[in-house]
Structure 1
Amino acid sequence: MKKIFYTAVATLFIGSAAFSQTEYNKGFRLGFGLNGGFPTDGAYDGSVGIDARAQYDFTQKTSITLTSGYTHLFAKPEEVGFVPAKLGFKYFLGNQFYLMGEAGAAFGVNGNIDNSLILAPVFGFANKFLDASVRYEHYSDYETDQIALRLAYGFSLKKKK
């Protein structure tokens, strides 16, 4: 059993070292994602959304992001939707894992829903094409917050030489 454990740990370290050697293009990136959320209370049954994210890499570890799209909250009496517009700061921890903080606004598209401030801490994984993350999203003026998962396809806008 110890041999299996030590082999697994060694594999993780070797795999992490291999991933950390991956070339990361600096400059602009663009990503398109699908989101699914789980509200933290009983006001809504769930959420689904799509988004587009522009990212500019200052360094290999730091980036700023601009994200917008559409999110739909499901509820039995009445469903609502909004367009989020968020600015974020992404910091790569190494081995393609990152922490990000986002802040912005949610613009209600239904007549009965107000606009709201959005604050969201994010933990994720990104490589050359895939971006997968989990975030806690706080809405200042809605009756719920949510834990959301995002899976996205991203690519560099930098031309290869």
Structure 2
Amino acid sequence: MNKILAFFVIFLANASTVKSQQVKIALAPEINFPTGNASNISGIGFGGSLKAEVGIADKYAITANGGYNLFIGKKYFGSRVENINAIPAKLGFKYYSSPEFYLEAQAGAAFHLGSISRTSFAWSPGIGTYFKTGSANNLLEFGLRYEAWTNASYGSISNLKTTSFGFVGLKLGYVFGL
């Protein structure tokens, strides 16, 4: 109990050192590599994202992220699996372990386009780092994340089944500091 209380006090002390609400806007192209069963459907995906970040304390920020992803369907026996197109929209929390390195978690929805028109629960943990540019406020960002789009459905005997389309995403973006 004392350890939990000590952790809570330390967390509040760090969070109470609020800095000015620094705002960052990032634009990034992405390359995505499907994992697990998703790799049977697609070998590679491409996309782009727009992320807004607002600092809430010295080492903490909240994020809003939107984008577009296209996964190219694989070809089997002369027939190609349909491409997967989706627009993910997520909110998240970012922790800076140093000024250049961060850990991040996001959750939201992925809106699928085309004949696979449905909405999935989207979640993604990630890490990233910043590199300085010639501008005082602008940065380059390299990010690595795992993202999954999870769906729930009922089987023939009312068993709840979940399926996920997961991938590892790499991005190299430009960050505008406002």
Give the 3 Å change call, closer, same or farther, for CA 26–54 of structure 1 in structure 2. same
Provide the TM-score with structure 2 as the length reference.
0.70
- Give, in whole Å, the separation in 1 of the partners of 2:21 and 2:119: 35
Higher share in strand: 2
* Residue 35 in structure 1 maps to residue 30 in structure 2: yes
- Give, in whole Å, the separation in 2 of the partners of 1:69 and 1:82: 8
2:91 corresponding residue in structure 1? 87
- Give, in whole Å, the separation in 1 of the partners of 2:106 and 2:148: 10
2:155 corresponding residue in structure 1? none
* Residue 121 in structure 1 maps to residue 125 in structure 2: yes
* Residue 150 in structure 1 maps to residue 171 in structure 2: yes
Percent of paired sites with the same residue: 30
Paired residues, what number?
134
Q: CA deviation at 1:113?
A: 3.7
2:148 corresponding residue in structure 1? 138
- Give, in whole Å, the separation in 2 of the partners of 1:124 and 1:107: 25
- Give, in whole Å, the separation in 2 of the partners of 1:47 and 1:64: 26
Considering only CA atoms, is the larger Rg found in Structure 1 or Structure 2? 2
Structure 2, unpaired ranges of 5+: 1-18, 75-80, 132-137, 152-162
**Counterpart of 2:102 in structure 1: which amino acid?**
Y
Q: CA deviation at 1:143?
A: 5.1
Structure 1, unpaired ranges of 5+: 1-23
Q: 1:27-70, CA deviations, whole angstroms, 9 ceiling, x for partnerless residues?
A: 21111011111111322111110111111011231111100010
1:50 touches 1:71 (CA, 8 Å); kept in 2?
yes
Q: CA deviation at 1:74?
A: 1.0
- Give, in whole Å, the separation in 2 of the partners of 1:130 and 1:27: 17
Q: CA deviation at 1:115?
A: 1.2
Match for residue 71 of structure 1 among 64, 69, 72: 69
RMSD between aligned residues: 1.8
1:123 touches 1:135 (CA, 8 Å); kept in 2?
yes
- Give, in whole Å, the separation in 2 of the partners of 1:92 and 1:63: 8
Q: CA deviation at 1:95?
A: 4.5
2:47 corresponding residue in structure 1? 49
- Give, in whole Å, the separation in 1 of the partners of 2:25 and 2:119: 26
Q: CA deviation at 1:126?
A: 2.0
2:70 touches 2:84 (CA, 8 Å); kept in 1?
yes
- Give, in whole Å, the separation in 1 of the partners of 2:64 and 2:127: 16
Provide the TM-score with structure 1 as the length reference.
0.77
